[in-house]
Amino acid sequence: MFFIELINNVSLLIVLTMLFKITASRYKFDTLSQRVVFGLIFGLVGLVGMMTPLHYADGVIFDGRSIILFVAGFFGGPLVAVISALIIAAYRAWIGGTGVYVGLAVIMISAAIGVFCYFLRTKVKVNLSWLHLFVAGFTVHVIMLLLFLLLPGDDGIKVIMEVGPTILLIYPLATLLVCLLFQDYDEKENVRRDLHQLAYYDSVTGLPNRLFQVENINSVLASCKTPECKGALILFSIDRFKTINDARGHAVGDMLLCAVADRLRTVIDSEYTLARNTASEFSVLLKGMFENAQDIDAFALNQASKIHTGLKFPVYIGKDEIFISISIGIATFPRVSEDTAGDVLRRADTAMHHAKQDGGNQTMLFEPTMASHIEQKFQIERELRKAISAGELRLYLQSQVNSSGAVVGAEALVRWQHPTRGRVMPLTFIPIAEETDLIADVDAWVLREACTVLASNEIYNRPISISVNISPRHFRQSGFVMNVKQILADTGADPTHLKLEITESLLIHNVNDVIAKMLELTSLGIHFSLDDFGTGYSSLSHLKRLPIHELKIDKTFVQDAPTDPDDAALVESVLAVAKHMKISVVAEGVETKEQAAFLNARAEVLHQGYLYSRPEPAEIWVSKLSEAVSVA
């Protein structure tokens, strides 16, 4: 009879548990409120179970609370266990009777063992099998029976003798059954949470991903019903991220992205969504009430400037100090009532590419006159193909001077005299040319023009060198060395007056092949200069292996060196390395007397920059040089 009643009692409990499981799987709560609600439900299930108890003797009742509380602790953790235990304990105290203290002790012990198993499962990561669960259930109920010994007189021994075996036969099995039912729910819930994480979050930085941001923009667009409600998407990418990734490997690239994400988290207010859209691209979604369009523009620009400032300080990856800059594009919305997230993203992307093309490290607000990046790229590529044969490229030269101000050389810089756009700067078309073999044609054209200048009557016998930029893609072509030799032969230029500027990104792949080509050209008397030094992220140790004669310190470091201790330290260390390796140095972008004085106080370096002269058409540069020499 007792056996049948106990089975009834436990069955009710299992039915209640299943109902709870079905309910819980339908409603999603955030973590804290979910736990509170779960605690309340576990407590209520326990209560209902206790309302149809099995009365063994006056004040001695059996119900499934030990099972419920173990399960509450095991799956829900401490908070769920405490809430459900309090509810059940309050009810048990209200019932009263001789067994009340024992009853309360059973409640505490069951919940505590459940919580203990919860920590084994979640923190110690013990994989609890069904056997473990059975043993846990068995332990709970052995302890429960032992607690009956606290009953007055020999009641406890009587209870244990009479119902102990039945209890130990049914309760641990029931505990196991309820746990298995819950485990199934728990696993499904974990899979759901993982799904969600994968679909909406970036696995590298832990930030929301592009899909999350797109849905977010759409929901902001849908919820912005009043004219004052406005938003802005700030889209930005790390300049030259591909170079870092190629130079240092993807692991360092990933660490850099995580460090950038951490820095951004401290800069951006948590009420705005920060996401990682693609490889090196992040976005921030702003929303608020603004009287007019200028107010949201100003607010977004202010946030963008906070981002620039936050990322100005170097990022540390292990012992490495990496300086980064970013290009930001901003699109405010809504512009038209049918605006979608796709439209907003496209506009921000167009603005961002304009910021990049214009030199990077800056912010641009979208303007309708900006053509989309893809459109622009396609058009430039098509037109540039024709431009070379149509004679639209122009050779410009920018002086390089020694510490006493005398011109000792020049850098060849290309310009494109476009029939309708006017003069197009290299940063607009060189990156596009670099994506195709067009760059080899541009470089070869510049090299031929520069060699023609070197071979001209005005220059040939003077100690003047000309530096020509060579793109990595061009350098790697199999016919590169042959072409250079051919151009030298055709023009009659003196190879000892020719410098080829290469960048660190050339040194990433097939270094041996690169060195072999460099040595072949060096044997002709050509010198090599390492351009944009300090921005390429490759290590100084690379230099030892290369036939490099000159380093060009990038203008970003030169310009801030007199005021920024980090840049000053970088310039000083480059000067020290160059001195040690007997390599000459050119400082790019010298614009002020302070910058020139800073450099002159430290080493004998060549200067190139607006302080002395801007790049000018080759024929003007040559004639000015001839005049200067004849006056002297």
Q: Is 155 in the site for ligand C2E (CB under 6 A)?
A: no
C-beta of 434: minimal distance to ligand C2E in Å? 7
In this chain, which stretch among 118-126, 442-450, 482-490, 522-530 interacts with ligand C2E, using CB under 6 A?
442-450
The neighbour count for residue 252, using CB atoms within 10 Å, is: 17
Which residues between 479 and 518 bind ligand C2E (CB under 6 A)?
501
End-to-end CA distance of the chain: 123
Chosen residue from 283, 469, 471, 505 binding Mg ion by CB under 5 A: 469
Judged by DSSP in three states, 601 sits in coil
Q: Is 427 in the site for ligand C2E (CB under 6 A)?
A: yes
Q: Is 426 in the site for ligand C2E (CB under 6 A)?
A: yes
Whole-number Å distance between alpha carbons of 356 and 379: 18
The neighbour count for residue 384, using CB atoms within 10 Å, is: 23
Cβ–Cβ < 8 Å for 423, 415: yes
Q: Is 414 in the site for ligand C2E (CB under 6 A)?
A: yes
In this chain, which stretch among 38-46, 63-71, 155-163, 582-590 interacts with ligand C2E, using CB under 6 A?
582-590
In this chain, which stretch among 49-57, 226-234, 287-295, 421-429 interacts with ligand C2E, using CB under 6 A?
421-429
Q: Is 608 in the site for Mg ion (CB under 5 A)?
A: no
Residue nearest to ligand C2E (CB): 609
Chosen residue from 60, 430, 498, 548 binding ligand C2E by CB under 6 A: 430
C-beta of 496: minimal distance to ligand C2E in Å? 21
Judged by DSSP in three states, 539 sits in coil
C-beta of 501: minimal distance to Mg ion in Å? 4
Chosen residue from 610, 620, 623, 628 binding ligand C2E by CB under 6 A: 610
Which residues between 370 and 409 bind ligand C2E (CB under 6 A)?
398
Tokens standing for residue 193: 């949470």
Q: Which residues is 466 bridged to in the sheet?
A: 410, 498
Judged by DSSP in three states, 456 sits in coil
C-beta of 611: minimal distance to ligand C2E in Å? 7
In this chain, which stretch among 152-160, 331-339, 428-436, 587-595 interacts with Mg ion, using CB under 5 A?
587-595
Pairing between β-strand 281-289 and β-strand 229-238 as defined by DSSP bridges: antiparallel
Q: Is 605 in the site for ligand C2E (CB under 6 A)?
A: no
Q: Is 281 in the site for ligand C2E (CB under 6 A)?
A: no
Q: Is 555 in the site for ligand C2E (CB under 6 A)?
A: yes
Whole-number Å distance between alpha carbons of 381 and 435: 10
- List the one residue out of 217, 214, 216, 254 whose CA is nearest residue 238: 254
CA within 13 Å, CB half, 38? 30
In this chain, which stretch among 219-227, 401-409, 510-518, 589-597 interacts with ligand C2E, using CB under 6 A?
589-597
Residue ranges of the alpha helices (H) in 208-340? 210-223, 241-248, 250-267, 293-310
Provide CB contacts within 8 A for 544, sequence distance 6+. 581
In this chain, which stretch among 30-38, 326-334, 431-439, 523-531 interacts with Mg ion, using CB under 5 A?
523-531
- List the one residue out of 61, 58, 71, 57 whose CA is nearest residue 91: 61
- List the one residue out of 361, 322, 312, 256 whose CA is nearest residue 538: 322
Contact footprint for ligand C2E (CB under 6 A): 398, 413-414, 425-427, 430, 439, 442-443, 446, 469, 471, 501, 531-532, 555, 588-591, 608-610, 615
